[in-house]
Amino acid sequence: MALPPVASRRDSISLISPVDGAIDFEALPDPITSEQEKAGEGPTWFQLYSRGRNPGGVGELPLHDDVEPTRFEVRPLTERERSVARALSGLGEDDDREARILASTAYLGWCVRLGLVSVTGWEGWDFRRETHCGLRCWPADALDGMDSVTSGFLALTIHEMSVLPLVSAAPSGS
């Protein structure tokens, strides 16, 4: 139940925020109960999805017929993008706990600004990419209207995609 294999740092996947009103929570494949986790039965399908584990992707999400979801297309960051994001966020090894938390939050914001390919179904999303440190990214104010659950979900998914090893298109041994 992990993210799909990444063959290229330009591969992208489509996501719907785990708090999007278009999701039919009553029709999810399994119930959403914190009691399951407390009982040690493990996370539900939706909990895995909302944590960026993407089992089955958005095609598995039950949606209301009369509501169009906001879709986010995301891709993994290149090594250069990750390096620039770490530098711009001020992430340092010798920082105290509070500084590391703030820098980590900034790093995750850069993950979304760099790894978000497109947004559809979001009324008022009319932002244009800008260039920052030689990289194309969304402006910081583009994320201002995004709730923290959605931005965190996108950031963690992009980060996880970025650190997964690339799969080889050629069979091994050839």
* Rounded-to-integer distance, Cα 60 and Cα 57, Å: 6
169 within a domain of the structure (yes/no): no
User: Does 128 have pLDDT greater than 90?
Assistant: yes
The domain total for the chain is: 1
Amino acid occupying residue 80:
R
* Rounded-to-integer distance, Cα 32 and Cα 129, Å: 37
**Amino acid 6: pLDDT:** 58
71 within a domain of the structure (yes/no): yes
Q: For residue 62, what pLDDT band results from cuts at 50, 70 and 90?
A: confident
Question: What is the side-by-side order of every strand in the sheet holding 116-120?
Answer: 13-16, 71-74, 116-120
173 within a domain of the structure (yes/no): no
Mean pLDDT of 96-122: 87
**Amino acid 89: pLDDT:** 81
Q: For residue 169, what pLDDT band results from cuts at 50, 70 and 90?
A: very low
110 within a domain of the structure (yes/no): yes
**Amino acid 26: pLDDT:** 78
**Amino acid 10: pLDDT:** 67
Whose tokens are 């996370």? That residue is: 43
**Amino acid 81: pLDDT:** 94
**Amino acid 12: pLDDT:** 86
**Domain coverage including residue 61:** 13-163
Q: Which of 116, 128, 24 is nearest to 71 (CA)?
A: 116
64 within a domain of the structure (yes/no): yes
Helix or strand holding residue 113 (H, E): helix 97-115
CB 14 within 8 A of CB 58: yes
* Strand, helix or coil for residue 11: coil
Q: For residue 100, what pLDDT band results from cuts at 50, 70 and 90?
A: confident
User: Does 36 have pLDDT greater than 60?
Assistant: no
How long a stretch of residues is the chain? 174
- DSSP letters, 20-88, are -TTB-GGGSSS---HHHHHTT----HHHHHHTT--SS-GGGS-B-TT-PPPEEEE-PPPHHHHHHHHHH
88 within a domain of the structure (yes/no): yes
Select, from the ranges 33-37, 45-49, 150-154, 162-166, the one with the highest average predicted confidence (pLDDT). Answer: 150-154
pTM for the structure as a whole: 0.77
145 within a domain of the structure (yes/no): yes
8 within a domain of the structure (yes/no): no
Tens-digit pLDDT profile for residues 70-92: 999 999 999 999 999 888 887 66
CB 60 within 8 A of CB 18: no
Q: Which of 79, 70, 102, 85 is nearest to 137 (CA)?
A: 85
